[in-house]
Chains A and B, each alone.
Chain A
Amino acid sequence: MRKWLIAGAGILALGISGASAQNFPTRSVTMMIPFAAGGPTDTVGRLVAESMSKSLGQQVIVENAAGAGGTRAPGLVVKAAPDGYTILLHHIGMSTAPTLYRKLAYNVLNDFEFVGLVTDAPMSLIARPGLEAKDLKGVLEYIAKTKEKTSYANAGIGSASHLCGMLLQAAVKQQFNTINFNGTGPAMTDILGDRVDLMCDQTTNTTGQIKGGKVKAYGVTTKTRVKSLPDLPTLDQAGLKGFEVAVWHGIYAPKGTPKEVVAKLTQALQAALKDPKVIQAFAELGTEPVPQDQATGAALQAKLKAEIEKWRPLIQAAGQFAD
């Protein structure tokens, strides 16, 4: 009798969870962002969340859980109930954290379900206004001449500008005098003030300064030119063959989230990436949504795997650890 009861309860529970997965979502969904409100990742997250709310029929609420170099929010999402009501939007930092942090509280590949890729945000290489180099060739000559006294600004360990700097140093085979700032704002202050030579940061942060003519700009880091900065060549075209880095964004759910729920989230993401409003807003940020076939769990998982392997040797060679 007891056994039957337990079995019955089990079937009932399965039935309920099946039904709730089918009805998903019946309440608001929380999208965790690992960085402070107002930053480039937050902006991407909020634009997508607003559009996803429309197709899910429930609000997708953005919650900023900044801290520990972007590793606090994934730690929280891993511990959340795997029901699809807590999801994570993270950027390229998801793939560098396993190397940068030796004691990570989660495994990026095993502890998540993958919803899909969102966008590849371009970065651009800029310099202080007083740097004489007119183009990338000039910059490369400057680096060859100045050697390790070439100064490079980044917005903190593990930030996109830090990663681009590591890639740049590997590409030109020259260590820079790297100066860590806490955020793009302070870094930009010392670029504008003619004190630090170079910075490579997300186009969202640099476009205003480039268009205002307050900094020198030499190229974008993506494979193709960026529509909002039509005069800038790609770094690959300008002389750094094969140099390519983009701040890719993906959406994750805790491991064990039902397949139907993940599929619904993926559909909502795909719909958001077709939303003209999102496309237009992305364009102003100098980016565009990934093609529909990339906004899938499989594509995100593959990207994450490839990126972990891409960054591991670079980070290890630089001897960089954040913990």
Chain B
Amino acid sequence: MGFLADFFSGMGANLALGFSQAVTLDNLFYCFVGVLLGTAIGVLPGLGPIATIALLLPITFKLDPVSALIMLSGIYYGAQYGGSTTAILINLPGETSSVVTAIDGHQMAKKGKAGLALFTSAVGSFFAGTVATFLIVGFAPLLASAALKFSPADYFSLMVMGFVAAVVLAQGSLVKAMAMIVLGLLISMVGPSESGAPRFTFDNPEFFDGFDFVALSMGIFGIGEIIRNLEDDTKREAIKSKFFDLIPTKAELKEMIPPILRGTTVGSVLGILPGGGAILGAFAAYSLEKRLSKTPQDFGKGKLAGVAAPESANNAGAQVSFIPMLTLGIPSNPVMALMLGALIIHRIVPGPTLVTDRPELFWGVVSSMWIGNFMLLVLNLPLIGMWVKFLTIPYRLLFPGIVTICCIGVYSVSNNPFDVHTMAACGVIGYVLFKLECEPAPLLLGFVIGRLMEQYFTRAMQLSFGDATVFVREPISASLLAVSAIALVLVLLPAIRKKREEAFAE
């Protein structure tokens, strides 16, 4: 008991220090600027936190490091909030995580429930953000050292589980879903192999780094969707939403709470892993909901849980991924790497001693995250009405703007015009896939996971000197593989498949 009392009083002192840092007029202002900017770039398709933070780096040199980091992290998690808005309204996911939100979110919008979908996403994100902040406050160092135990073999098996989840994700034909996953995997093979040698590049230097995820997803989802809408303009008229439908009924509230709780859990657990766990959060949460649901056939047709779970998972993962950066000095994604760079320019060397050397920085930033999440909720709820009104703009006026912003956004990722060309080509592919009734989400998942899976496979094999039994010898890896195998058998069992086909037949 004494230990617990110490733990809470220690936590209280830390939080007091944190809030004393975060709740100054200056830092509240920078936090607000951060989340506002984050929301804006999240909403604008293609523009992402990486380009924005890189652009703002010079400005942060003049700020106090605490303020700088508060603002930059605000941009990061603000963008996670904003990213779902375009996914829901115009089926345009700008971030990996909102690919899943687009599936059911956009269907809800088409049914006139855009307001409810946005409300669910905002509330789910806020709840997940709050939980994740407390996880960081209470257990950051503990969780970080646990995450280090995850070996390349374990990551490989986690990615295998991701693949199984991708199969579950599919709504239509199982064969088509698998074909899409494999296609995604093949696209991910373009670029440098693990030994550094280029593959499938046809000696064209533009292919040396492989394809960019943002360009691929904007093209297949966003531009593909635009071509589709232009073909049949009458469909757009169906999306009209009244402002007040954002307030959920009691039944809807009851329906969204369990998925939010489960999504937060899944997102937090995966988000701790620095090697790309956060990417899987939204996918895993969605697949879990679909498995647990009594009416899995409703997923993909505008199911509330299909928005609540991935959105919570996504935001929990975004916040929790600060743990490896702040406690170990290891960036878990390019945005974190940028923030580390910002610290270095402020002459703070990030590393395991940051928490003890600069407690005001660590606790200040953590406290500001909760404040920022609250600001986002207050900021986003009134905005929902505005976003929904946005849909009433005639499509012929709306789409040129979307296309332009998509081009700027994709270009800004690495200042490379080739990415814009990729997006254009993928737009056509996305349209063709739609005509063939193939779903794009498994393709994108295959693309993201394929690359990581190969990396971890190569690394694990290298570290074991070519001994493949490493995947079943290591306990974490073995259990993940076992779970995947069971899930796969369940999906592939002929009896179940028959039932599935009946349920999913168009």
Instruction: List the interface of chain A (C-beta within 8 A of B).
Output: 36-40, 42-43, 46-47, 50, 62-69, 71-72, 75, 103, 105, 149, 151, 156-158, 177, 179-183, 185-186, 188-190, 192-193, 195-196, 204, 207-209, 211-214, 280-281, 284-285, 320-323
Contacts and interface: CB of A to CB of B under 8 A. Distances in A.
Given A37-B341, A192-B330, A284-B347, A105 B414 contact: no
Interface in B364-412: none
Interface residues of B, number: 54
Given A65-B414, A185-B330, A193-B149, A38 B339 contact: yes
Given A64-B414, A193-B148, A214-B351, A38 B340 contact: yes
B330 A189 contact: yes
A37 B328 contact: no
Interface string B46-57: 000010011001
Contacts of A211: 349, 351, 353
A208 B358 CA distance: 13
Contact of B351 (A47, A207, A285): A207
Given A43-B345, A186-B275, A103 B332 contact: no
A46 B347 CA distance: 13
A5 B180 CA distance: 65
B2 interface: no
Given A63-B415, A196-B463, A183 B337 contact: yes
A90 B149 CA distance: 36
B332 A185 contact: yes
B205 A214 contact: no
A129 to B, nearest CB: 10
Contacts of B195: 157, 180
B203 interface: yes
B503 interface: no
Contacts of A38: 54, 57, 334, 337-342, 344
Interface of B: 50, 53-54, 57-58, 61, 148-152, 192, 194-198, 203, 205, 208-209, 274-275, 324, 328-332, 334, 336-342, 344-345, 347, 349-354, 414-416, 455, 459, 462-463, 465
B347 A281 contact: yes
Nearest to B333: A185
Is the contact region of chain A dominated by helix, strand, or loop, or is it mixed? mixed
B341 A42 contact: yes
A195 B205 contact: no
A189 B274 contact: yes
Among the interface residues A186, A189, A285, which one has the most CB atoms of the partner chain B within 10 A? A189
B337 A46 contact: no
B353 A64 contact: no
